[in-house]
């Protein structure tokens, strides 16, 4: 027990140190963690770590999916629903089919069922890797929205393909019609189960006397109940978590108070950071175990097969994405689409961002060791090795080159939306107008007699004029935003210095100091996301 605890703490410390080093080197955390895990695994004396697939599916996957669904914009998801469905379902099936026929044709002894099994494993891209890489570069909102939406759904479709292919290998037969019907049944019922569990948690949040801490705890329990309930009914646990997460996120303003939202955001960010970090470093640390399991397979042949399958995966994704863009241009003449002319630059970014990750590895590890008749599962170790190489190549090679690709194609955001800071000021202006109107309508008589209400109106008017002037400045000269952000950063630093001095003085309580520090923290958090 002590050794297990020490190992977990060591992994968490390693994740923290590698993330900090990766930030210093300006390398995305998932990429740097996988490479670091590879390097550490080669050090003599390092204990061999074997990942249990149940650990990934039952412990890691539900909260990661739930957090991704919670922060997904439903408006953007619905806007790009057609391309998201094409990528999440159509591309997964096409990729699995391409891998199946290619592997069965070139790998000796590899059947078509084994090919679909491998295809189901390596078809879904990893959302965390793509979005982490994209954070460091300027890319359009639509590209990020499409990738996030795709990643929410494609895990479910790939796991369904994997499940039916596994049944085909174990039983020796495969019924296409039955599999297609079961595919839609498992997906649809997973959505319904997720919505049903989300409805129960909605009722608890809305009408039970919950506190801030209880509300946050409920958000951590929700994804596990959704996933486990769906799996108990043998339907898609992934779709249950995604649909339930989207539902509760959409109603978060009704079920969570301001304290729960603020505190929950910080807690969820920390938990997801820890889980993602552990997953990616474990992928790297798994290398010696996977190579050691190759057994009689030639490493040269195994690498050749893996590179070939990786190329199939990358080329298939690029081809389908570009074809979807061309088809959208054509079909846009007859039906209403979000963008009639998506061009080629945006699709290239979406296509090249198809990096594989944790779900692929967990699926490969879940392959049983033996068939129903007790014989060893055919080509299991080779499938594991190919999966690992696909993850490594797509994550490291595509991840490192994605910023370069984005800069080279020079993709301009076609939506022409106002910068976020302008949007924030416009929203704040509207809210202040509403607040002043509410004050005048309901408390007009008290304004003259109540000094506090009178001062409140004066403060809101000053805030209104200041915000209006700030918005006009942004609209007239957006080039001054960087200078403004630098000035605000210096002001925040000066406030912190004074607050630190006041903390030492006895006439100010620590609780009051902490409240003011929280206000400054919110100011600095906003400055950490400047608009360029």
- Per residue in 308-354, pLDDT (tens digit) is 999 999 999 999 999 988 888 777 777 766 677 777 888 898 888 88
What is the pLDDT at residue 444?
Answer: 78
Give the pLDDT band (50/70/90) at residue 532. Answer: very low
For residues 382 and 305, is the Cβ–Cβ distance under 8 A? yes
**Of residues 36, 49, 120, 129, the one with CA closest to residue 398:** 129
Sign of CA dihedral 105, 107, 110, 115: negative
Give the pLDDT band (50/70/90) at residue 530. Answer: very low
What is the pLDDT at residue 416?
Answer: 65
Q: Over range 24-32, report the average pLDDT.
A: 83
Q: Over range 270-283, report the average pLDDT.
A: 86
Is 90 exceeded by the pLDDT of residue 193? yes
The CA distance from 366 to 374, in Å, is: 17
Q: Over range 24-37, report the average pLDDT.
A: 85
DSSP string, 238-297: HHHHHHHHHHHHHTHHHH--HHHHHHHHHHHHHHHHHHHHHHHHHHHHTHHHHHHTTTTS
What is the pLDDT at residue 177?
Answer: 65
Give the pLDDT band (50/70/90) at residue 459. Answer: confident
Q: What is the pTM of this model?
A: 0.80
User: What are the sequence ranges of the domains in the chain?
Assistant: 2-409, 420-476, 480-532
The CA distance from 75 to 345, in Å, is: 23
**Of residues 155, 124, 126, the one with CA closest to residue 28:** 126
Is 50 exceeded by the pLDDT of residue 260? yes
Average pLDDT, rounded, for the chain: 82
Is 50 exceeded by the pLDDT of residue 302? yes
Is 60 exceeded by the pLDDT of residue 478? no
For residues 314 and 449, the model is more confident at: 314
Is 50 exceeded by the pLDDT of residue 187? yes
What is the pLDDT at residue 497?
Answer: 82
Is 90 exceeded by the pLDDT of residue 299? no
Sign of CA dihedral 72, 35, 274, 51: positive
- C-alpha pair distances (Å), 498 with each of 109, 512, 516: 73, 14, 11
**Long-range contacts, stretch 434-443, CB < 8 angstroms, 24+ apart:** 435/460, 436/460, 436/461, 436/464
Give the pLDDT band (50/70/90) at residue 368. Answer: confident
370 beta partners: 376
Buried b (16+ CB within 10 A) or exposed e, 486-516: eeeeeeeeebeeebeeeeeeeeeeeeebeee
What is the pLDDT at residue 338?
Answer: 65
C-beta neighbour count of 114 within 10 angstroms: 24
What is the pLDDT at residue 531?
Answer: 40
As a CATH number, domain 2-409 is: 1.20.1530.20
Q: Over range 155-171, report the average pLDDT.
A: 79
Give the pLDDT band (50/70/90) at residue 441. Answer: confident
What is the pLDDT at residue 223?
Answer: 95
Give the pLDDT band (50/70/90) at residue 511. Answer: confident
What is the pLDDT at residue 357?
Answer: 81
What is the pLDDT at residue 226?
Answer: 96
Q: Over range 19-35, report the average pLDDT.
A: 85
Q: Over range 365-388, report the average pLDDT.
A: 83
Is 90 exceeded by the pLDDT of residue 240? yes
Torsion on CA atoms 503, 506, 508, 514, rounded to nearest 10: 40
What is the pLDDT at residue 529?
Answer: 53
The CA distance from 375 to 371, in Å, is: 5
Is 60 exceeded by the pLDDT of residue 95? yes
Give the pLDDT band (50/70/90) at residue 76. Answer: confident
Q: What does the pLDDT look like over 241-258, one tens digit per residue?
A: 989 999 998 888 888 887
Is 80 exceeded by the pLDDT of residue 485? no
φ, ψ of residue 269 to 5 degrees: the values are -60, -40
What is the pLDDT at residue 410?
Answer: 78
What is the pLDDT at residue 295?
Answer: 67
The CA distance from 155 to 177, in Å, is: 22
């Amino acid at each position: 027990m002590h050794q297990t605890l020490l190992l977990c703490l060591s992994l968490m410390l390693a994740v923290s140190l590698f993330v900090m080093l990766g930030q210093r080197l300006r390398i995305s955390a998932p990429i740097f963690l996988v490479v670091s895990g590879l390097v550490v695994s080669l050090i003599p004396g390092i204990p061999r770590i074997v990942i249990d697939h149940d650990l990934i599916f039952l412990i890691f996957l539900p909260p990661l999916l739930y957090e991704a669904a919670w922060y997904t914009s439903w408006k953007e998801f619905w806007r790009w629903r057609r391309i998201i469905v094409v990528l999440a379902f159509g591309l997964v099936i096409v990729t699995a089919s391409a891998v199946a026929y290619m592997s069965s044709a070139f790998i000796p002894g590899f059947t078509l069922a084994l090919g679909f099994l491998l295809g189901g494993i390596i078809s879904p891209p990893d959302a965390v890797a793509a979005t982490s890489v994209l954070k460091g570069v300027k890319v359009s909102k639509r590209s990020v929205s499409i990738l996030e939406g795709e990643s929410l759904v494609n895990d479910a479709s790939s796991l369904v393909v994997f499940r039916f292919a596994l049944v085909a290998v174990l039983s020796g037969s495969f019924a296409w019609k039955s599999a297609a019907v079961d595919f839609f049944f498992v997906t649809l019922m997973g959505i319904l189960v997720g919505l049903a569990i989300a409805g129960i948690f909605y009722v608890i949040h809305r009408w039970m006397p919950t506190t801030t801490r209880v509300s946050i705890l409920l958000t951590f329990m929700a994804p596990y109940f959704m996933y486990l309930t769906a799996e108990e009914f043998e339907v898609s646990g992934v779709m249950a978590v995604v649909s339930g997460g989207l539902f509760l996120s959409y109603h978060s303003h009704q079920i969570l108070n301001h304290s729960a939202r603020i505190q929950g955001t910080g807690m969820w960010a920390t938990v997801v950071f820890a889980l993602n970090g552990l997953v990616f470093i474990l992928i790297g640390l798994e290398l010696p175990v996977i190579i050691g399991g190759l057994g009689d397979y030639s490493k040269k042949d195994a690498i050749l097969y893996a590179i070939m399958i990786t190329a199939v995966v990358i080329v298939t994704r690029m081809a389908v994405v570009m074809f979807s863009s061309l088809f959208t241009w054509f079909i846009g003449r007859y039906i209403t689409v979000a963008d009639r002319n998506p061009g080629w630059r945006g699709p290239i970014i979406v296509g090249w961002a198809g990096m594989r990750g944790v779900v692929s590895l967990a699926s490969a590890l879940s392959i049983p060791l033996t068939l129903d008749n007790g014989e060893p599962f055919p080509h299991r170790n080779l499938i594991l090795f190919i999966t690992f190489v696909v993850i490594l190549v797509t994550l490291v090679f595509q991840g490192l080159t994605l910023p370069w690709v984005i800069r080279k194609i020079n993709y301009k955001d076609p939506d022409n939306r106002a910068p976020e800071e302008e949007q924030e000021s416009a929203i704040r202006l509207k809210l202040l107008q509403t607040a002043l109107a509410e004050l005048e309508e309901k408390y007009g008589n008290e304004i003259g007699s109540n000094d506090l209400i009178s001062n409140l109106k004066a403060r809101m008017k000053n805030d209104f004029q200041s915000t209006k002037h700030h918005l006009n400045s942004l609209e007239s000269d957006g080039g001054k935003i960087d200078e403004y952000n630098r000035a605000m950063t210096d002001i925040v630093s000066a406030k912190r210095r004074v607050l630190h001095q006041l903390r030492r003085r006895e006439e100010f309580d620590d609780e009051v100091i902490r409240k003011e520090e929280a206000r400054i923290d919110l100011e600095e958090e906003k400055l950490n996301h400047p608009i360029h």
